[in-house]
Each structure stands twice: as C-alpha cells, then as structure tokens.
Amino acid sequence: MNLIGDILLVIGCAFIALGSLGLIRMPDVYNRLQAGTKAATLGAMSVLLGIGFHHPDWWAKLLVIAGFVLFTNPVGSSTIARACRKTGMEPKRLGKKLEIEP
C-alpha cells in the first residue's frame, strides 16, 4: 500500500515538474497556459491520490481538494486565455515565419 502511494507521488511530482519545464520551453502565452495548467492539474490529482493511499482516513478532505482543483483550474486558465485574446495578443505562427524568412 505504501509502495503504491510512493509511486503515485513520484508520478505526480514528475508531471508537475514537466509542466513547469513546458512553462519555460514553450514560445507563447497560449502554449505556456496549456503546458502549465493541464500537466500541473493531472500531477496534483496524482499527488493527492498517493497521499490518500498513505492515509486512508483523510479521503474526504483529499476528495474535496481534488474536486476543487479539478473544477477551478480550467476556469482560471480559460479566463486568462480569454483576457489575452481580448487584448489582441496574437499566437506565434511558426509556419508563416519559415515561409517569409528564406
């Protein structure tokens, strides 16, 4: 039981770290939004599930936190994307650039 919880913790923390790496590597606000929000949400789910395997009597609070993260994080992400779109921030187009430069 503890081994399953530890493996879930490592998987979740790896997903969170890869999402933060995407936050550094991606070229654009929209791509950074995708990488940061979705990978970090999945990683947080896995971390909470792993803690639930370690302490089975905390499942109610962990379920409340997991549901809260699962419902509020896409709302915040879409609100930021909507604000970027409304202020006229253009997505980066790699294809057009390759067409023009050579």
Partner 1 sequence: MTLSLLQLVAVALLILAIGLSAVRLFLGPSTADRVVAADTLAVITTAGLAGLAAIFDNPIYLDIALVYGTLAFVGTVAIARALEGNRP
Q: Is 70 in the site for partner 1 (CB under 8 A)?
A: no
70's enclosing H/E stretch is: helix 59-86
Query: Of residues 1, 56, 64, 91, which one binds partner 1 by CB under 8 A?
Result: 64
CB 28, CB 80: distance < 8 Å: no
Alpha carbon distances (Å) from 6 to 13, 42, 75: 11, 16, 30
Query: Which of 6, 99 has the CB closer to partner 1?
Result: 6
Residue among 58, 53, 49 nearest 2 (CA) = 53
Q: Is 4 in the site for partner 1 (CB under 8 A)?
A: no
Distance CA 67, CA 61 (A): 10
- Interface ranges with partner 1 (CB under 8 A): 2-3, 6-7, 9-10, 12-14, 16-17, 19-21, 23-24, 29, 32-33, 36-37, 40-41, 43-44, 47-48, 51, 54-55, 58, 61-62, 64-65, 68-69, 72-73, 75-77, 79-80, 82-84, 86-87, 89
